Chains A and B, each alone.
Chain A
Amino acid sequence: MVHERVMEKLAILADAAKYDVSCSSSAGQNKRKNQNKGLGDTGNGICHAYTEDGRCVSLLKILLTNHCIFDCAYCVSRKSNDIKRAGFTVQEVVDLTIGFYRRNYIEGLFLSSGIFDNPDYTMERLVRIAKKLRLEENFNGYIHLKAIPGASDELIKEAGMYADRLSVNVEMPTEKSLKLLAPEKNHADVIKPMEYLRNEIVGYKEEKKLNFKAPLFAPAGQSTQMVIGATQENDLEILGMANYFYEQMNMRRVYYSGYVPISYDNRLPAIGTPVPMIRENRLYQADWLIRFYGFNVNEIVGFDQPNLDLDIDPKLGWALRNLHQFPVDINSADLELILRIPGIGVTSAKKIVSARKFKRLQPEDLKKLGIAYNRSKFFLAFSSPFYLQKDLTSIQIKEQILNIQNSKYQNNFSNQLSLFQ
């Protein structure tokens, strides 16, 4: 490698790739094992470092090139943007990946690209890199490739043979926003490869049941990403779209990327507008409630409540709207109900269910188990006659919780808090 040039290209092409937030490197059920005494394996995923913005670094996340024929307003690599352009050769990406992996810097490669020439030409390069890593370097680490919309089914299928995960980013939650910011694109173009991948992945899973040795096809599934806060969508539309991806496309993950202003285009928030980090955080919390806590999207947002509260998390929000479902008796309720108590997470809920087999749990036991007791106490019932639960309204509960919690976003809410005081 020509050292100086590679150093410069890495800076340009890592910088251009960093707005894609997918960082997962876990293999799922079908782990790629190192059986041939080659290099690497996949497991539950490891975050090897954390940048100063607190985001994890698990993969070498780069663009093959930031030359692009499209001019999407929200994208830093858009054709009309006056930035330094660069492109890696196939061999350079292979050498970087192996060099980083052998030093235990990364779990693998996340390779995306601007569209140069045409989709097939771009996709073919991405596939060639993955193939070379697998077949020539004997590499079993994690590979995440972008499926380029418009590329042929054959190329996408070949990508699935070498990659652990494939993703197509929907970018804008609605067709209307996409038309506004990327007039050359439409939703149908991204849905088509998603559907193709879904069918291939389902087919692979069926085959795997019959034939244990069936060759892997994107064993870590597919994911997508939506940009949040660049356009006017509400959380109902965003979570509705996410729900569609989970249910209809069997997506493993939907990522929400708070828009980082990078353009003076008047269709977009101006440079200097804060990144909507709180909203992004609330969307992830809602996403978790749907995937791990048994919540239905309609319970979290609805037409009467189209946006998530910013000052409280969506689980607390749901509980305050549904006080009639509480208090829950921790010593007898089903796990599903315990999971719905604010301040109790999946791990804590399981601990409670385990510990209560040995004795009737009291408030001090819960504190010992590490439960956020000061949040959850408003929603708990204990059998002890000495424990009196005062009847509080949801506004009183919210006020008390906001007063005790030391939110990392506290400063943002000083106005809202004073409303209650």
Chain B
Amino acid sequence: MTLLIYDGTFEGWLTAVFEIYEYKFEDVIFAKDENSNALFFSKTHFVETDNLKANRVLKGLKQRLSPTGITNMDHAFFSELPQIEESLFRFATYVFSSSKNIEGDLSNNAVLNIQKAAHLTGKESHRMKAFVRFKLTKDNLYYAIVEPDCNVLPLIQKHFKNRYADQKWLIYDTKRKYGIYYDLENVSTVELTFDSNPSSSKFLAEISDEDEEFFQNLWRNYFKSVNIESRKNTKLHVQHMPKRYWKNLTEKIPNLKK
């Protein structure tokens, strides 16, 4: 058994696939860093991300898959599900071993797993397009805190760039400790260090635009007013807006000042 340690990027994973074929490794397991259970494995191989190798694998996949098939692999990778690298490798092996496009072979577990993982990421990125709640600062920056299940910021940046082309915005993923920032021209990846607790009310009051709290209250008020009490359906409500998202949803955070 061989443990492949790679840098956690999709290019790194593609490089690893190249080297599995290059060095004829069998029974591979992937890990993102050295602290994993390396000791249990007889052999450890460090993968140095190499764009040439990655592109050759990608080219091979593109020849055998539709553009949707490639997107699905990409999305599946960002799902960050346990053992997704191994699942993707099984899928890639099947792709390379077959003479025709196999992405429609949904009763095959290698194909179905990738489709399900891609679906999960797609759903989570749609959720983030819905659940981002921007707050306006004194410096005219619209910022939002999110904590998505999958690593979806790379997948939603285009949506936000197209939609909010005339305002500066920042979406920060507290789980993965990075954000995407739009400066009216480009979107870039940023890492932030906070001097004080970013969710403390004192900190928020200091940085907020003077109308920000008013708009948050308007939104809470609106959210409450459109509910029809005689149709109450808590199960459906929670199914669509699972509780783990509530802490970043303005309408689900009671206004403490009132």
Which A positions have Cβ atoms within 8 angstroms of B? 3, 6-7, 10-11, 14-15, 17-19, 33-34, 37-41, 43, 46-57, 60-61, 96, 99-100, 102-105, 138, 258, 260-261, 274-275, 277, 351, 354-355, 357-359, 361, 365, 368-369, 408
Chain A residues near B219 (CB, 8 Å)? Answer: 100, 103, 105
11 CB-based A-B contacts, threshold 8 Å: A3-B214, A6-B218, A18-B227, A38-B166, A46-B130, A102-B136, A102-B167, A105-B133, A274-B230, A275-B231, A359-B107
Whether A57 contacts B223 by the Cβ 8 Å rule is yes
Residue of A nearest to B116 (CB): A370
Distance between A357 CB and nearest chain B CB, rounded to angstroms: 6
Which B positions have Cβ atoms within 8 angstroms of A? 102, 104-109, 112, 126, 129-136, 142, 144, 159, 162-167, 211, 214-215, 217-219, 221-237, 239-241, 249-251
Cα A275 to Cα B211 in complex, Å, equals 39
Chain B residues near A34 (CB, 8 Å)? Answer: 162-163, 165
Cα A138 to Cα B165 in complex, Å, equals 11
Whether B162 contacts A50 by the Cβ 8 Å rule is no
Whether B130 contacts A53 by the Cβ 8 Å rule is no
Chain B residues near A60 (CB, 8 Å)? Answer: 222
Cα A96 to Cα B231 in complex, Å, equals 27
Cα A55 to Cα B232 in complex, Å, equals 10
Known contacts A18-B226, A37-B166, A51-B227; A103/B221 CB under 8 A? no
Whether A7 contacts B221 by the Cβ 8 Å rule is yes
Residue of A nearest to B215 (CB): A99
Our pick among B105, B165, B217, B232 for the contact of A53 (Cβ within 8 Å) is B232
Known contacts A41-B163, A53-B231; A358/B218 CB under 8 A? no
Known contacts A11-B221, A369-B106; A48/B166 CB under 8 A? no
Cα A105 to Cα B136 in complex, Å, equals 13
Chain A residues near B166 (CB, 8 Å)? Answer: 37-39, 138
Whether A260 contacts B226 by the Cβ 8 Å rule is no
Cα A33 to Cα B161 in complex, Å, equals 12
Known contacts A18-B226, A41-B163, A52-B227; A47/B218 CB under 8 A? no
Whether A104 contacts B237 by the Cβ 8 Å rule is no
Chain A residues near B218 (CB, 8 Å)? Answer: 6-7, 10, 96, 99-100
Whether B225 contacts A104 by the Cβ 8 Å rule is no
Known contacts A10-B222, A18-B226, A37-B165; A54/B233 CB under 8 A? yes
Chain A residues near B225 (CB, 8 Å)? Answer: 10-11, 14-15, 18
Whether A358 contacts B105 by the Cβ 8 Å rule is yes
Cα A100 to Cα B152 in complex, Å, equals 23
Known contacts A355-B104, A358-B108; A102/B164 CB under 8 A? yes
Chain A residues near B231 (CB, 8 Å)? Answer: 53-55, 258, 260, 275, 277
Our pick among B107, B112, B131, B228 for the contact of A18 (Cβ within 8 Å) is B228
Whether B104 contacts A51 by the Cβ 8 Å rule is no
Whether A358 contacts B107 by the Cβ 8 Å rule is yes
Whether A53 contacts B227 by the Cβ 8 Å rule is yes
Whether A53 contacts B144 by the Cβ 8 Å rule is no
Distance between A38 CB and nearest chain B CB, rounded to angstroms: 6
Distance between A370 CB and nearest chain B CB, rounded to angstroms: 9
